[in-house]
Chain A
Amino acid sequence: MSTDNVTFTSAGPDDSDSYAGSYDTTEGRIYNVSGGDWGTIAGAPEGEHDRIVVNMGPQHPSTHGVLRLILEIDGETVTEARAGIGYLHTGIEKNMEFRSWVQGVTFVTRMDYLTPMFNETAYCLAVEKALGVTDQIPERASVIRVMMMELNRISSHLVALATGGMELGALTAMEFGFRERELVLDIFEMVSGLRMNSAYIRPGGVAQDLPADGAQTIRDTIPLLRKRLKDTADLLVDNAIWMGRTVDIGYLDLAGCMAIGVTGPVLRSTGLPHDLRKSQPYCGYENYEFDVITKTTCDVYGRFLIRIEEMEQSLRIVEQALDMLQPGPVMIEDKKIAWPAQLSIGSDGQGNSPEHIREIMSESMEALIHHFKLVTEGFRVPAGQVYAAVESPKGELGCHIVSSGGTRPYRVHFRDPSFTNLQAVAAMSEGSMISDIIAAVASIDPVMGGVDR
């Protein structure tokens, strides 16, 4: 990576100006400029500024968080693009090795913070596979998982449209996107207690059942969501300015996607209908009717259309899930795995349900011991390794876990789609205008929390 010219922070010999300076290297004189002082080297001798490397990010508003793009430019044209990542690395995978299997959910939900339900489901599916209890997950828990995931797909795609629109100057799309996302987040709050990072999906099922009026509230929200999604789509789909910024921009064809390992809407914009929900169903996706949306344009506009239409398909799935919802348990029956308590809201806030407290405190000493052991020690997962993957809004989200037979993971690794897809930035944008890089990155929809983990 040709970052050697851009990583210097000290200005070297000529540091009279704290924002600009220069120094000599074997390759010639190098000028560093930061802040707004470009003018200070505008008078550099002719022929010496033939290679300009610009750092875009990690604090640029349109680089989706702390993404650093290292661009070599010739006028307005990008001749070489590299992505620098790692600014949001939080050591989630390492941290998980020192917490119980159930506590891992609390970490993974914070990886790609726009798709917490997918992170949690991928992790829980992997843990359940390692435990060998995949068949024992209650029907109702799977339906709720599907419902939460599809609502989450809508909210994630909405943020992709909102931030993507904002970066290209379509501020109304941003306002619409974030407003509609609130509808989904309100549902998450009602169901799990938290709008984001909800740690709602747990190994064995989900943390708690839907509230009494939960299903009805979700059902009532769908028409409004559908209407507003259509408004957002109408705003942009035939918008000449939007099309001017996105059609034929950020081109990446099937061969490129395969080589770089790109999945999700970017892959489907090349015409390949690859969707894990269809090809390798999990959580009962084989029981739902929905279409895999593809386009053949390989460009930013095609990916935008895919996201728009996928949200409609997600609403279809949510409706079917609501119809499928039957009363029943939401946590696995196996008492050695199932979290012992259910939460409820009392006069003093949220806590363990009064029935459970009564049982462990005044009825059964064994139940108290069991609760204590399961909560502090946790369950053991047999030694071995498994891989489970879900189709997140960004592509294949894979979870590889290794257990050594203990109460804590031996190793957890997430194959985050944003991480892999972000490698395509160079292929999509080299040779294009600087402004088109913004569109290309927005169409990948990377979330740095997921990229860096």
Chain B
Amino acid sequence: MSEPGLPVVPQGIEELDVIGVRHGAFGASGGGDTSGFGGLVEPIVMPAPARRPFGGWFDEVSDELELALQAAGLHAADAIEKVVIYRDEITYHVRRDHLVSFATLLRDEPGLRFEMCLGVSGVHYPGDIGRELHAVYHFLSITHNRRIRVEVSVPEGDAVIPSLYAVYPTCDWHERETWDFFGIVFDGHPALTRIMMPDDWPGHPQRKDYPLGGIPVEYKGGTIPPPDQRRSYN
């Protein structure tokens, strides 16, 4: 075991994870603001990174991880960007270069033994400049009855993450789905093709900037705008 209090989190990162700014009480802009709420400005802040001690078994897993990473010739601080604990769930933000070795340790180390990968899905944060696309993996250890989450962030212009197919074959379809919906390329996947949308579909529908269609209504030329342009709460 490493010394308690040894930071998994590297020093000097911003405490606040701001992913965007919310304006006003209603989503749509451009119309007349009769409510007076239009001037509201509020940052959207995701839960801040956690510091040791994490409490519960989170420390055990983190210690095991650090030791295992060390044994594999890696620095914990290099592989793990930050650790977030929220609602009794632990999230390791892992740098993409180290994802495969990180996952291999999760699977193989007796003290970790996350036998089951529950797949990957994406989240698109257009406001998180430089790390717009997040791939989120969930792992379950049946042996120790624990769950962890691993998150990898990549910029939109270089959305490539190494595939976990070789470590966890279950990621096969999950990675295809994430490619289909978010356009994240999983490098090393044997056949990264679309899985839900037709093969010739343009764009990646789950991205926040994907254009949505409106439904034309035949009533005095009126139309209903697409859902993302309607006046709505946010």
What is A's interface to B at a CB cutoff of 8 Å?
A: 1, 7, 85-86, 89, 91, 93-94, 98, 100, 129-130, 132, 258-261, 263, 272, 274, 279-280, 376-378, 383-387, 389, 396, 398, 400, 402, 404-408, 410-411, 413, 415, 419-420, 422-423, 452
Contacts and interface: CB of A to CB of B under 8 A. Distances in A.
A1 B195 CA distance: 11
B233 A384 contact: no
Nearest to B210: A94
A128 B198 CA distance: 35
Interface stretch (B54-62, B64-72, B164-172, B216-224): B164-172
Given A1-B193, A91-B205, A405-B44, A398 B118 contact: yes
Given A1-B191, A279-B142, A386-B87, A260 B47 contact: no
B227 A383 contact: no
B142 A406 contact: no
B98 interface: no
17 contacts: A94-B205, A98-B227, A129-B87, A261-B117, A274-B142, A385-B136, A386-B86, A386-B89, A387-B147, A400-B138, A405-B22, A411-B123, A411-B124, A415-B118, A420-B119, A420-B173, A423-B169
Given A89-B196, A274-B142, A402-B123, 14 more contacts: A85-B196, A89-B197, A91-B205, A98-B228, A258-B115, A260-B170, A261-B169, A384-B47, A385-B86, A386-B89, A407-B234, A420-B173, A423-B170, A452-B196
B91 interface: yes
Most buried by B among A93, A98, A376: A98
A261 B233 contact: no
Interface of B: 19-20, 22, 44-47, 86-87, 89, 91, 115-119, 121, 123-124, 136, 138, 140, 142, 145, 147, 149, 168-170, 172-174, 191, 193-199, 205-206, 227-228, 232-234
Contacts of B47: 383-384
Contact of A280 (B116, B124, B145, B227): B145
A263 B145 CA distance: 15
Nearest to A260: B170
A286 to B, nearest CB: 13
A384 B116 contact: no
B138 A404 contact: no
Contacts of A7: 199
Contacts of A279: 142, 145
A94 B180 CA distance: 13
4 closest cross-chain pairs (CB), A and B: A261-B170, A413-B121, A98-B227, A89-B196
Contacts of B233: 100, 376-378, 406-408
B123 A258 contact: no
Contacts of B44: 383, 404-405
Nearest to A373: B233
Contacts of A258: 115-116
A385 B145 contact: no
B91 A385 contact: yes
Contact of B170 (A406, A407, A420): A420
B147 to A, nearest CB: 7
Contacts of A419: 173
Given A384-B86, A405-B44, A415-B118, A260 B205 contact: no
A398 B138 contact: yes
Contacts of A89: 196-197
A47 B174 CA distance: 39
Contacts of B136: 385, 400, 413
Contact of B20 (A378, A404, A407): A404
A65 to B, nearest CB: 15
A130 B191 CA distance: 35
A4 B195 CA distance: 15
A280 B52 CA distance: 25
Most buried by B among A93, A260, A384, A415: A384
A357 B195 CA distance: 48
Given A384-B87, A452-B196, A261 B227 contact: no
B168 A387 contact: no
A410 B123 contact: yes
A372 B173 CA distance: 42
Contact of B87 (A1, A100, A130, A410): A130
Most buried by B among A89, A132, A378: A89
A404 B19 CA distance: 8
B49 to A, nearest CB: 13
Nearest to A278: B145
